Structure 1
């Protein structure tokens, strides 16, 4: 529910603060006093409308889906809309997009002045019907949904397999082609690096041997250096070691380059080109080898597809029988309860002074809901063609049916002038249904009829002081005066006050 609402600077309102209770909350007042503005700003505070108020803010008891929104719940969550240069929305002072706040609010608040067909969607109507049946339907529904999930999974796998089977020849040929392409080259991991190193050595072989030949001239002068060191009485061991090490390095280099004489340079270059082509196609030699293994596995799978398909077909046929039987059983239970559902719905419609509705259960393809479609028509008229007043009262009847099985309390219904153009009896009938709905909902309603107004658990007068709109929660005696004004106009008669008191006393 909404526990508190605050509004600042919006059209004729400078400031308004409402401390709200659970139950039926009625707003009344003269035409043009700002009642609709107030409702619009409450909707705007929770992202279901937009207005130019400086601030509109609602403190609510609704739980926030912390994982979905990334926001944390407080003991009381504060939803806020601020309009300066642009609209901004906040929950607990943390910024949130209008789409996100709207999605969250829609789980808890319904605005019945909008022609919203969500309460007549198949899933919701079947849920009400199943709750009427009771535990037997709910257990059967759970078993059905589990079986349907398994059935859908196997069906999808089989469809994929059959689709693959249609392309099997092409897929097998492609897999073989790719395997042969890689096998023809027969690459080894790291081979490309080794060949590139050989190519590098070949490219510098001639120049390196020429330089080594020149460097070997130093050994022709080695004895002169040794003699000079002996003459100087210097130990020549360091020089001998250095020359021996140099001799070893040059000899090893000559041997390495001599070994390259046996290598076919053209063969090396061709091999590097083959491996380069694989790398260009697959990314690396390692990836080419991995891709070949993948294609070998696919080829094996294609070879075994008939076996796999046969097993899936057996599972599918078994699950198809099971899910169809469960759907038939669910349809049977729903069909037996349908007349009672229709009767209870029409009882509410009778209270609301509406003609009877017809309820039809028809079959369609299997879904997670079963095989049933539940449709409601008012006097055989499509819901899209009935009047707005009839549509909203029919929604009330459906919500009343639904509320009989609801366990949670905290949802909010907002109605602008649902009793507009209704007779006194019709207005009272709407009020009685709304009163029933307050077991599960906090309900905000604008009313111009004494009957509905008198049923309010909380009554706010919206009035103008000069050009400024203001609100005031009414006491019992103040309610009498306001209802009397609704009955007789600005000149309040004693008879109107008497009737107003009788209404309030009767509904206390």
Structure 2
């Protein structure tokens, strides 16, 4: 239950602190007094969107905080699942900063809005007027049946199974498509692969072949220049080596005179040794230089094949061609294995379908079983609310389609009068009838869901007279097990509350403010009398108010 509520700098509220009691409480006030502001503030605690326009003073932050007593509601696991510290007195806080940034806290632990929404939904249920229309929505009708049928665990299991079922079907479809595409391309890919295998490509082969081609294409030029170089170096009288030796002999005669000359002598000696080595390598290379027309033809042919393959596959290197060959080989391996994968997936899909269908069937069975009891409870509650001939019929059709919560399609049929045919609730129920039916539904759900707090925002729309008294009695009964607030304009309902709070506006220093206060006995008499007769209180209205309160 909500133990206290604190609001700062929100809409017309400058600062508000109020405590609440358990049981049945009513909230009254003139139209426009600010009852919706209270609901808006609580909406922030339930994770609703924050808006800078909600700030009364744009230069200060807005803070909404509420303390909840939750010890007896067995929801500790909900906090643990969301990694939030549990306290028997749990505090939810929401802040809107002047920058527009919003922050949320649970027991002083920062949380994101999803966590705030998840936890607050188990603490408070705010029912506004427009939510009466939810009765006409299939999702809400299914939710009613599932709460009463205790289907939550089954639905969670169904959703998990359905997710895996859909994933397996998607994978199977992808594999079948892949197989079909592979079959169409298989012949062509087989030709490409065979061509690449026959080419017998080797890494770095292209560069080596191109170098060898250059040599074989210029044998005479290479031979001529190597021979010439050897002759120049080794000629007996004027060869380079002979000249270097003479230079060496001359420098040797002066080497002892200076360290610089000694160094030069050493360098000349090294040069002669290096040149001798070069000449040896030139002679060795000369022996290798031979005309080889067959090898030349082979290299030309191989390089032409490489260039043709590169052009066909739009690449620039042998390495890329080898990568394409490997990819084609893996595709063929994959296509050989794809039939096995498809067969395994077909079995998995069938098994998942069977298990998902079985769970959906159990969900359907549980829904069907609770329908007679629900219909009878609704009739029983609505009879004293001026609907003695109300009748309901839940038509549950188990389909082949997979929905989020099962395979059922539901229609809620309704008849308000004897002798009239059933029709869709959304088409034939009036606003007042929807209000009463919704109260009956909430009354039934409250016994099962065990919510700590419910707030009815003018659920009495379209109601008057003795029916309003009966509605108040039902809300009083509901409040035996939970904290219930009713925002109302009807004196019959306002008089039945254990506690009475009034929302009102006042003007101070040319500014308008909203406030809420708990009424004492005399204030309550006057408030209810004003609801009966208006601002000009009459003795009759006051006596009527006292009679209602007694």
For the 8 Å contact 1:115–1:388, the answer to whether it is kept is no
Aligned to 2:182: 171
| Separation (CA, whole Å) in 1 of partners of 2:79 and 2:537 | 53
For the 8 Å contact 1:27–1:444, the answer to whether it is kept is yes
* 1:482 aligned onto 2:527: yes
Question: Which string of whole-angstrom CA distances, capped at 9 and with x for unpartnered residues, describes residues 329-357 of structure 1?
Answer: 65455434321121112233335444333
Question: Which string of whole-angstrom CA distances, capped at 9 and with x for unpartnered residues, describes residues 54-84 of structure 1?
Answer: 2554225799x99999999996342244678
Displacement of 1:222 in angstroms is 0.9
| Separation (CA, whole Å) in 2 of partners of 1:230 and 1:500 | 140
Aligned to 2:65: 59
Aligned to 1:452: 493
Of 515, 520, 536 in structure 2, the residue corresponding to residue 471 of structure 1 is 515
Which has the higher mean CA deviation after the structures are superposed, 21-30 or 476-485? Answer: 21-30
* 1:430 aligned onto 2:471: yes
For the 8 Å contact 2:129–2:461, the answer to whether it is kept is no
SS at match of 1:76: strand
* 1:340 aligned onto 2:400: no
Displacement of 1:6 in angstroms is 1.9
Aligned to 2:391: 356
Aligned to 2:94: 79
Structure 2 segments unaligned to the other structure (5+ residues):
57-61, 69-74, 253-264, 416-421
| Separation (CA, whole Å) in 2 of partners of 1:72 and 1:350 | 46
| Separation (CA, whole Å) in 2 of partners of 1:281 and 1:71 | 60
For the 8 Å contact 2:41–2:64, the answer to whether it is kept is no
Aligned to 2:258: none
**Which TM-score applies when normalising by structure 1?**
0.73
**Which TM-score applies when normalising by structure 2?**
0.68
Aligned to 1:90: 103
For the 8 Å contact 2:125–2:455, the answer to whether it is kept is yes
Displacement of 1:285 in angstroms is 3.7
Which has the higher mean CA deviation after the structures are superposed, 253-262 or 362-371? Answer: 253-262
Displacement of 1:405 in angstroms is 1.8
For the 8 Å contact 2:450–2:482, the answer to whether it is kept is no
| Separation (CA, whole Å) in 1 of partners of 2:495 and 2:379 | 25
For the 8 Å contact 1:192–1:272, the answer to whether it is kept is no
Displacement of 1:441 in angstroms is 6.8
Displacement of 1:455 in angstroms is 3.9
Which has the higher mean CA deviation after the structures are superposed, 49-58 or 69-78? Answer: 69-78
Matches within 5 A, 1:244-323: 244-247=276-279, 250=282, 262-263=295-296, 264-265=299-300, 267-275=302-310, 277-278=312-313, 280=315, 284-285=320-321, 287-301=323-337, 309=343
Aligned to 1:365: 400
Displacement of 1:418 in angstroms is 2.6
Displacement of 1:174 in angstroms is 0.8
Aligned to 2:18: 19
Structure 1 segments unaligned to the other structure (5+ residues):
none
SS at match of 1:52: helix
Kindly tell me the number of residue pairs found equivalent between the two proteins: 490
Aligned to 2:270: 238
| Separation (CA, whole Å) in 2 of partners of 1:58 and 1:392 | 30
Which has the higher mean CA deviation after the structures are superposed, 391-400 or 439-448? Answer: 439-448
| Separation (CA, whole Å) in 2 of partners of 1:201 and 1:72 | 77
